[in-house]
């Protein structure tokens, strides 16, 4: 049975109105930005960076995390770059990276002259698992940059244990998992340093572009501060930023400005409610998927509470007459946000191949990618949007399901 021609063949769409735009940056953020201006007018100094708003923002973030130190920087890529730089690893050594991630989580290692070793994901997951981590180790492994993908926490504890025993430094890339919990603790608290992006589409955002470095170790904190600001020796008792002779080493400038920190501060007050709303939506999608015989929920680990960035659902590809990609394209054509070509598999990036040391194959990650698709959504989705997602899936599968 089918209820009308598929939109991909020119039929009417299930979702006629555009899906609701996120509008993360709202009146409260505008008010906070105005505050930065008004403070500067009152104080008679133009706003810059490393001021009051960065302090408020990073303090609030550390409260949210349950302690630690944080430095606001210019992008997620910069945050990963700085975290890796802090470990002072000799070029030519190996760095393990996640099988599925953003280029910003990998290229800082290339830029610093390291060889890339791509670990596979755990079965039925986009995230690296402890066994896959172990398999990726070489005698030259010095660090690992591990992404909690799509808001799902990695099974991080056993990985940290292995890494510690071998003196390997771990960076958690939390760009897609702000506020996610692993065994009751926020991600970012497990590795040596955590890096994350706070660009506009991330769950915690500070404006168009931004990043955050977070750690438990105070020495790393001061080192990151210097690495992110031309080697300034902030810890010197008589530190004077005008005395450029005091710099510790040559370093670039990755500062985040006060306007961005003011936006981040404002979003942080709502971060938990944003995450809760997103969790509510993904739970509803999963429950509604009972109406589908082809698409099914991918459950999270029992000991974790994700911070959903996108929502991965499984596709019973054996039940389809077409490829998963064709199926996903047809669902997208109904007016639903889906990425049918999920291209964040590191092993498939040709431009990276010459920097990769291992055999490039991550079969678990590929298999999972080929049997899932990612639903894109935001915290403004209501029940009506969830219904349209499910109706689209059910409509498309009625066309493409194999006859028994």
The three-class DSSP label of residue 312 is strand
Q: How far is the CB of 344 from ligand PLP (least distance, A)?
A: 8
Q: For ligand PLP, which residue of 93, 175, 216, 358 counts as binding (CB under 6 A)? A: 175
Judged by CB under 6 A, which stretch of 31-39, 173-181, 227-235, 268-276 contacts ligand PLP? 173-181
N-to-C CA span, the chain: 14
Q: For ligand PLP, which residue of 176, 255, 312, 374 counts as binding (CB under 6 A)? A: 176
Give the number of residues written for the chain: 404
Q: How far is the CB of 211 from ligand PLP (least distance, A)?
A: 5
Full strand arrangement of the beta sheet holding 372-375: 295-297, 311-315, 372-375, 338-339
Q: Can residue 147 be called a binding residue for ligand PLP (CB under 6 A)?
A: yes
How many chain residues are in contact with ligand PLP, going by CB under 6 A?
14
**Rounded-to-integer distance, Cα 370 and Cα 311, Å:** 15
**Rounded-to-integer distance, Cα 270 and Cα 266, Å:** 7
**Rounded-to-integer distance, Cα 312 and Cα 124, Å:** 11
> Beta 295-297 vs 311-315: how paired, if at all?
antiparallel
Q: Can residue 203 be called a binding residue for ligand PLP (CB under 6 A)?
A: no
Q: Can residue 108 be called a binding residue for ligand PLP (CB under 6 A)?
A: no
Q: How far is the CB of 383 from ligand PLP (least distance, A)?
A: 28
Q: For ligand PLP, which residue of 194, 199, 338, 346 counts as binding (CB under 6 A)? A: 199
* Helix 258-288 with 27-43: angle, nearest 10 deg: 170
Which residues are paired to 95 by β-bridges? Answer: 116, 143
77 versus 260: smaller Cβ distance to ligand PLP: 77
Q: For ligand PLP, which residue of 51, 188, 211, 264 counts as binding (CB under 6 A)? A: 211
Residues forming contacts to ligand PLP in the complex (CB under 6 A) are 75-77, 101-102, 104-105, 147, 173, 175-176, 197, 199, 211
């Amino acid at each position: 049975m089918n209820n009308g021609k598929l939109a991909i063949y020119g039929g009417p769409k299930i979702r006629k109105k555009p899906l609701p735009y996120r509008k993360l940056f709202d009146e409260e953020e505008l008010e906070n930005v105005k505050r930065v201006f008004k403070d500067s007018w009152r104080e008679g100094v133009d706003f810059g960076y490393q001021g009051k708003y960065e302090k408020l923002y990073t303090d609030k973030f550390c409260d949210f995390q349950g302690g630690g130190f944080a430095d606001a920087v210019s992008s997620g890529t910069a945050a990963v770059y700085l975290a890796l730089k802090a470990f002072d690893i000799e070029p030519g050594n190996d760095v393990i990276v996640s099988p599925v991630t953003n280029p910003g989580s990998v290229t800082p290692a290339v830029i610093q002259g390291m060889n890339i070793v791509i670990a596979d994901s755990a079965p039925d997951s986009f995230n690296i698992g402890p066994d896959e981590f172990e398999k990726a180790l070489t005698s030259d492994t010095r660090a690992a940059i591990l992404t909690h993908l799509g808001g799902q926490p990695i099974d991080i504890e056993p990985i940290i244990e292995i890494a510690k025993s071998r003196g390997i430094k771990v960076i958690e890339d939390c760009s897609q998992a702000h506020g996610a919990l692993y065994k009751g603790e926020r991600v970012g608290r497990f590795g040596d340093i955590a890096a994350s992006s706070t660009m506009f589409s991330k769950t915690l955002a500070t404006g168009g572009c931004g990043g955050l470095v977070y750690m438990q170790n105070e020495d790393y904190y001061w080192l990151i501060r210097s690495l992110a600001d031309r080697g300034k020796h902030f810890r010197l008792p008589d530190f004077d930023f005008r005395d450029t002779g005091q710099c510790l080493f040559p370093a670039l400038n990755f500062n985040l400005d006060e306007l961005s920190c003011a936006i981040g501060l404002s979003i942080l007050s709502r971060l938990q409610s944003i995450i809760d709303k997103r969790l509510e939506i993904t739970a509803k999608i999963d429950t509604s998927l009972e109406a589908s015989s082809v698409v099914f929920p991918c459950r999270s680990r029992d000991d974790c509470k994700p911070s959903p960035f996108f929502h991965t659902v499984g596709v019973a590809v054996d039940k389809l007459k077409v490829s998963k990609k064709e199926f996903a394209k047809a669902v997208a054509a109904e007016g639903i946000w889906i990425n049918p070509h999920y291209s964040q598999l590191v092993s498939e990036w040709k431009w990276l191949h010459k920097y990769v040391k291992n055999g490039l194959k991550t079969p678990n990650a590929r298999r999972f990618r080929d049997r899932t698709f990612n639903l894109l959504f935001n915290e403004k989705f209501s029940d009506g949007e969830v219904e349209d997602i499910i109706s689209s899936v059910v409509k498309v599968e009625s066309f493409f399901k194999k006859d028994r």
